[in-house]
Amino acid sequence: MLSAVLGLGQIGLVAAIALGWASKKFAVDIDARELDINEVLPGVNCGACGYPGCSGYAAAIVEGKAAITLCPPGGGDVVEHIAEIMGLDANVGEPLLAVVLCQGDNRKTTKKYRYLGLHDCNAASKIAGGPKDCPAGCLGLGSCVASCPFEAIEMTADGLAIINRELCTGCGHCIDICPRQVIRMTPARETVHVLCNSHDKGGVVRKYCETGCIGCNICKKTVPEAYKIDKFLARVDYDHAEHAALAIEKCPPQCIRDFKTAYPESSHFRPEQKQPSATLCAGKDLHG
Amino acid sequence: MNQKTFVGGVHPADSKHDSDTKPIEACPLPEQLIIPLSQHIGAPAEALVKAGDLVFKGQTIAKASAFVSVPIHASTSGQVIAVEPRLHPCGKMLPAIVIEADGEDHWDPSLEGIDPAQWTGDELRQRISDAGIVGMGGATFPTHVKLSPPEDKLIDTLMINGVECEPYLTADHRLMLEQSDKIMDGIDILRRVLGVKHTIVGIESNKPDAIACMAKAGANHGIQVQALEVKYPQGAEKQLIDALLGREVPSAGLPMDIGVVVQNVATAAAVSDAIRLGRPLVERVVTISGPAVAEAKNLRVRIGTPLSFLVQQCGGNKYEVSKIIMGGPMMGQSQLSLDAPAVRGTSGLLLFGEKDLAKIEAGPCIRCGRCVGACPLHLLPATIASYATLGMFDEAEAHSALDCMECGCCTYICPATRPLVQTLRHAKGGILAKRRRS
Amino acid sequence: MDNQLYMSSSPHVHSGETTQDIMRAVIYALLPACVLSIYYFGLEALLVLLLCTAGCLTTEAVCCVLSKRAMTLSDGSAAITGILLALNLPASSPWWLALFGSIIAVTIGKQVFGGLGHNPFNPALVARVVLLISFPVQMTSWTSPTPLGHGLDALTAATPLGEMKTSVMLTGQLPASAHSGFSDYLIGNMAGSIGEVSALAVLLGGLYLLKKKVITWEIPASYLGSVILFGGMFWLIDSQRYPDPLFHLLTGGLLLGAFFMATDMVTTPITRSGMLIFGVGCGVITVLIRLFGGYPEGVSFAILLMNGATPLIDRYTRPKVFGRNPYHNINQTPAQEN
């Protein structure tokens, strides 16, 4: 009994000394500030800052390589915290949210072909530019949904990406992945947007989309300072958008929407259906 | 005869019987020809004509804009009515020269044939380049580039590709039967340009008549004809060299790295025309086939002929067409419409109806390993695909995703019908995009 | 108007063989063993087969509903798991044992990993081993076969492998049953679990799978070959203590394992050389357990252990990519005229 206790005690002692020595010898110097910053960062490792994970970003800030405003998911609070830790002035930028500038789902737009294959917008857009007649609208295959680290994007049953403004942090992943550049960063306070991305002429747009902007200028005539028309496509001028909502009623194809009131409606979301991500097989040798 | 082959590959039903007994017919002249400026790998040609110009058949209407580029010629005589974006077989609107045919089909009188024996290799190569000749197996790589190996690359073998391993296609098969002498003449010219004696013609053994015909024609020229096992992709350049010579083209390398130049039989025939007759590449043989076409045919088609016109010549379609494929079914491109024109790389036009198609949902990978056994490049397609789906492009690259040549064997064989080739293409795009960024 | 043409990425043709076809072929291949087992063990065997299959299908359906995934019953994998599990149970198994096994197989064995294609271990074997360890009495109450029409009550009996183990442990000598009666083993006239009784029926199914090219020869050949070689080696050393390789081959679940469970695609290597290594590993472990282990039979453990080694095998048997081999450079080695 005694020998057992002594034996174990000796092993314990040796191990303790070895561990103690090793922790001194191989200790990695970590700036205390780095740990603090890592604490205040959201910890989702979304990569929006461009560094490998939150700890990578924290290290970069301490080394002075990175600006303190690169964490969109954290928002203003995190910037203020980091500024405090680093002893810098917090210069919080305007919070941004991603918006899908399109409402042409599968019911409202026409298709130039029926696509079958990999369920990915980038893959589909390599085949004759994507299955939609509209060259700029949402393809509805959900690459952005898969890319969003915050599960803020949902795909409607009719194939249109909708961004949940509560969950979106403005990290910009969806913007990088979208082959159509139909997702844009907009100031979070602005809720009125022109939901169209096609620069085609009005007559062309009408052929393929019920609800695309036809460049009719009515919105600009109604609220001149709030809208710009660029190549047959109206855009909200977010710097002077106070009265932009006045044009909503006037827009003939109803492509101006105010997220505060009209869109997206919660009933818009239907349970996700199994998507036909099928391989098309031509030829006699397939009996299927 | 012993049959050579490579490791891997698949055995799709060859479906060639509808058209392999049909002699090549000349396709009539359509009213309009749409000749895209980009019909080859490399820089698009630059238009030399404008709307209103009158052109002869064979006249250069667009010039090569770089070394890896070729000029483009009018495929008939007539008036240029537009130089504007038109539907290209790739599905996009790309610049094209539209010619309204005058019905005369006058050759450019300044075109003259020469006797290759009296010209040097460099001069012949220039003529081949001027004639706009590209690899006619479908890859459309400019031929003169392949014929210009750098000084330090010794070429010892010229390989002629008469494999035609894609199902349905019979254009090369018919060409070998009907014009073997012209092909042999083209081979002689190519040998002269390269200064190479050793020549092998590889033909799949499902074309015994073509093998016999070519062997007979080649006997006087000292050209060896080798039968190859019927297996897809036997006609892929790397697999052909492996089968015939046992040499492996290094990864990311070219056949010239191991002393080989491969040319298609149709390219050899075009070279003969370009030198002996002075005629540039303005037409090619196209197989029009598929279950939905009324009568499968092999047509000699002017470059720029609308696909709808080709279908008309074959008696139209038997029933409503649901899928159009340009090229073979393994590597061909599905088409947006029959308005696109036939181009230099158009080896076939296949029509399918709704009932010829099967739509199956892709299931989960069951790790059966069939794709691994089928991949002629010995990759792990399913593994690369799962990395790609997860966006792990570094791992995909470590598994040699960039070596994939998109032959289609993995998708063809996958019991879960997963779109593996498309996913691998996605992976390659992702890897290259990542490289560009860093 | 939408254009009605289809477009997709190449290739545009497919071999026509789908996952369902593969699963269907496996079920067909299992039928001879099922039929023969019903002949030998009567309604008891039929009941176990039905219970296991129904149990697996139901569990799979429930899992799909609970995890809000599309229904996967039609892929046939759950049915195969059910049949394989039944074939691995004694005919006298109580109903609850079969049902419990089915639930374990589909949930712990497969669905927790994400369903078909994601499970690292063969689900039926996972369930068998769980049952064997949890309910050793019920799982080793073998009855000797009483062919239909004989009207006798089933007698409890030991399996040939069990008999061998006991005899070797007690006397250091093989029992008489290890030297003769091979023809009975071949047609299945011996005690054992439902599916391992008839070597012939299993072999028939296995050959069918090979013929249909559903499985490749590598795993069965290397598995059986290594059992013959490795088992044979011991037999040559001491034929009084270690049995004939043929005895190894015909008794227990070796053939069933080699043709149906070691060839389960999901849990085995994807490369040809990996499959060979996998088979040899299974063979060696099986013989070791049979001759020296605590259990009379080692097929399930051998396959499960090698299942665990599969990712490692896959990692080290990656085929050499085309064009990465040292190639002929004609400037160094003159090309041969051929």
CATH number at residue A41: 1.10.15.40
A273–C contact, CB cutoff 8 A: no
Query: Does A129 lie in the same domain as A201?
Result: yes
Mean pLDDT of C232-244: 90
- The Cα-based distances of C306 to A212, C109, C113, C300 in angstroms read 59, 15, 18, 10
Tokens of A246: 């006045």
What confidence score (pLDDT) does residue C2 get? 65
Question: In sequence order, which residues have a C-beta less than 8 Å from that of residue C270 and are 6 or more positions away?
Answer: B367, B368, B369, B372, B380, B382, B383, C314
User: What range defines the domain where residue B209 resides?
Assistant: 117-277
Is some CB atom of chain C closer than 8 A to the CB atom of A199?
no
| Residue numbers in C near A114 (CB within 8 A) | 2-7
Contact by Cβ (8 Å): B238, B280: no
Grade residue C237 by pLDDT with cuts at 50, 70 and 90.
very high
Q: What share of chain A is helix, strand, coil (3-state, %, to 5)?
A: 35, 15, 50
* Average confidence (pLDDT) over C277-298: 92
The pairing of beta strand B198-204 with beta strand B224-228 = parallel
ipTM: 0.89
Residue A130 and residue A192 in one domain: yes
Is position A101 within any domain? yes
The encoded tokens of residue C171 equal 């006397």
| Cα B413 to Cα C313: distance, rounded to the nearest angstrom | 23
Average pLDDT of the residues in C147-173: 73
Residue B213 sits at φ, ψ, to 5 deg, of -65, -45
C-alpha span between B414 and B369 (Å, rounded): 9
pLDDT in tens, A64-84: 877 777 787 877 788 888 888
Residue A260 has pLDDT above 70, yes or no: yes
Give the residue-averaged pLDDT of C313-322. 91
- List subunits contacting chain C, requiring 3 or more Cβ pairs under 8 Å: A, B
Long-range CB pairs of A145-149 (<8 Å, 24+ gap) are: A147/A173, A147/A174, A147/A176, A147/A177, A148/A173, A148/A174, A149/A44, A149/A45, A149/A46, A149/A47, A149/A73, A149/A173
pLDDT given for residue B351 in this prediction: 94
Give the CATH number, domain containing residue A245: 3.30.70.20
Residue B196 near residue B188, CB atoms below 8 Å: no
CB contact under 8 A, C7 and A123: no
B355 in any annotated domain: no
Asked whether residue A111 falls in the same domain as residue A221, the answer is yes
Confidence at residue A276, expressed as pLDDT on a 0 to 100 scale = 46
Q: Same structural domain for residues A85 and A207? A: no
What residue of C is the nearest CA neighbor of A285? C16
**Has residue B27 been placed in a domain?**
no
Question: Are A89 and A101 within one domain?
Answer: no
Confidence band for C158, pLDDT divided at 50, 70 and 90 = confident
C-beta separation of A131 from A114 below 8 A: yes
CA–CA separation, C5 and A243 (whole Å): 45
List CB contacts of B355: < 8 A, sequence separation 6 or more: B319
The DSSP letter of residue C261 is I
- CA–CA separation, B58 and B105 (whole Å): 10
* Cβ–Cβ < 8 Å for B167, C13: yes
Name the token pair of C117.
Answer: 């294609």
Q: Which of B230, B249, B277 is the last residue of a domain?
A: B277
Confidence of residue C183 (pLDDT cuts 50, 70, 90): confident
Buried b / exposed e along B79-116 (16+ C-beta atoms within 10 A)? ebebbeebbbbbbeebbbbbbebeeeeebbeebeeeeb
**Which of the listed residues B277, B307, B322 is the one where a domain comes to its end?**
B277
The residue segments making up the domain with residue A63 are 32-93
Instruction: Determine the average pLDDT of the residues in A135-144.
Output: 91
A106 shares a domain with A86: no
Residue where the block lists tokens 């949402």: A138
Residue A277: pLDDT band by 50, 70, 90 thresholds?
very low
* Contact at CB, B412 and C13, closer than 8 angstroms: yes
pLDDT at C67 over 80: yes
Q: What is the rounded CA–CA span in Å between residue A178 and residue A188?
A: 20
Contact B60, B72 (CB under 8 A): yes
CA dist., res. A212 & res. A132, Å (int): 13
Contacts of A113 in chain C (CB under 8 A): 3, 5-7
Of A255, A267, A234, A236, nearest to A108 by C-alpha is A255
> Minimal Cα–Cα distance from C248 to chain B, Å?
28
Report residue C98 CA to chain centroid gap. Answer: 18
- What is the four-CA torsion angle of B246, B250, B252, B253, rounded to 10 degrees? -80
Domain count, chain A: 2
Please, are residues C55 and C163 in contact by the beta-carbon 8 Å criterion? no
In terms of domains, do A165 and A200 share one? yes
Q: What is the CATH number of the domain that holds B232?
A: 3.40.50.11540
- Give the domain-ending residue among B277, B293, B326: B277
By the CB < 8 Å criterion, does B436 face chain A?
no
Q: Are residues A77 and A118 in the same domain?
A: no
Do A75 and A153 have their domain in common?
no
Distance of alpha carbon B232 from alpha carbon B226, whole angstroms:
17
Secondary structure (3-state) at B4: strand
Distance to chain B for C181, nearest Cα, Å: 38
Instruction: Quote the mean pLDDT of chain C.
Output: 87
Reference C136, options C305, C295, C292; nearest CA is C295
Within a domain: B237: yes
pLDDT of C57 reads: 96
Is the Cβ pair A283, C6 closer than 8 Å?
A: no
- B429 in contact with chain A, both atoms CB, cutoff 8 A: yes
Q: Over range C277-301, report the average pLDDT.
A: 92
Check if the beta carbon of residue B434 is closer than 8 Å to that of residue B393: yes
Question: Mutating which of A45, A118, A148 best tests the B interface, going by the most B Cβ atoms within 10 A?
Answer: A118
Let me know if residue B330 belongs to a domain.
Answer: no
pLDDT at C338 exceeding the cut of 50? no
- DSSP 8-state secondary structure symbol assigned to residue B185: H
Does any CB of chain A come closer than 8 Å to the CB of residue B438? no
A130 domain-assigned: yes
Q: Is the pLDDT of residue C186 over 50?
A: yes
CB contact under 8 A, B322 and C15: no
Q: Does B100 reside within a domain?
A: no
Cβ(A212)–Cβ(A196) under 8 Å? yes
Per-residue pLDDT at A129 exceeds 80: yes
Mean pLDDT of C99-106: 96
> Do residues B411 and B423 touch, judged by C-beta distance below 8 A?
no
State the Cα–Cα distance between residues C145 and C155, nearest whole angstrom. 8
Q: Does residue C22 carry a pLDDT above 60?
A: yes
DSSP characters for C90-132? -TT--HHHHHHHHHHHHHTTTGGGTSTTT-SS-HHHHHHHHHH
- Chain A, chain B: beta-carbon pairs less than 8 Å apart: 80
* B347: in domain: no
Q: Taking a C-beta distance cutoff of 8 angstroms, is the pair C98, C76 a contact?
A: no
The sign of the dihedral angle between the CA atoms of A53, A56, A62, A65 is negative
Interval A39-57 mean pLDDT: 82
- From A132's Cα to the closest Cα of chain B, the distance in A is 12
Q: Please indicate, yes or no, whether residues A60 and A192 belong to a single structural domain of this protein.
A: no
Does A274 contact C70 at a Cβ distance shorter than 8 Å? yes
Which of A184, A152, A171 is CA-nearest to residue A74? A171
Which of the listed residues A93, A113, A140 is the one where a domain comes to its end? A93
Residue B91 lies in a domain: no
CB environment A125-158: b (16+ within 10 A), e (fewer): bbbbbbbbbbbbbbbbbbbbbbbbbbebbbbbee
Classify the phi-psi angles of A97: left when phi > 0, otherwise alpha if psi is within -120 to 50, otherwise beta. beta
A23 part of a folded domain:
no
How many domains is chain B partitioned into structurally?
2
Is some CB atom of chain C closer than 8 A to the CB atom of B117? no
- β-bridge pairing A233-236 and A161-163: unpaired
Per-residue pLDDT of chain B (438 residues; tens, 9 = 90+): 568 899 999 999 888 999 999 999 999 999 999 999 999 888 899 999 999 999 999 999 999 989 899 999 999 999 999 999 999 999 999 999 999 999 989 999 999 889 988 889 899 999 999 999 999 987 889 999 999 988 888 899 999 999 999 999 999 999 999 999 999 999 999 999 999 989 999 999 999 999 999 999 998 888 999 999 999 999 999 999 999 998 889 988 889 989 999 999 999 999 999 999 999 999 999 999 999 999 999 999 999 999 999 999 999 999 999 999 999 999 999 999 999 999 999 999 999 988 888 877 888 999 999 999 999 999 999 999 999 988 889 999 999 999 999 999 999 999 998 999 999 999 999 899 888 887
Q: Could you tell me if A165 and A250 lie in one domain?
A: yes
Sign of CA dihedral A252, A256, A258, A263: positive
Q: How confident is the model over C193-226, as pLDDT tens digits? A: 888 777 888 999 999 999 999 999 999 999 999 9
pLDDT at A151: 85
Residue B387, amino acid: Y
Q: How many CB pairs under 8 A join A and C?
A: 58
**Long-range contacts, stretch B241-247, CB < 8 angstroms, 24+ apart:** B241/B159, B242/B6, B242/C322, B243/B4, B243/B5, B243/B6, B243/B202, B244/B4, B244/B159, B244/B200, B244/B202, B245/B157, B245/B159, B245/B200, B245/C328, B245/C335, B245/C338, B246/C328, B247/C327, B247/C328, B247/C335
Residues A237 and A101 in one domain: yes
Over residues A141-192, the pLDDT tens digits come to 888 988 888 888 888 888 889 898 888 888 888 998 899 999 999 998 888 9
Cis amide linkage into residue A253, ω under 30° from 0? no
Residue B392 included in any domain: yes
Q: Which of C9, C320, A173 is nearest to B425 (CA)?
A: C9
Of B90, B91, B360, Cβ closest to residue A288: B360
Could you give the 3-state DSSP secondary structure of residue A13? helix
Q: Is residue A70 part of a domain?
A: yes
Residues of B in contact with C3 (CB under 8 A): 336-337
Q: How high is the pLDDT of residue A268?
A: 44
pTM of the model as a whole? 0.88
Distance from CA of B406 to the nearest CA of C (A): 8
Q: What average pLDDT does chain A have?
A: 83
CA-nearest residue to A207 within chain C is C1
Cα C332 to the chain's mean position, in Å?
A: 51
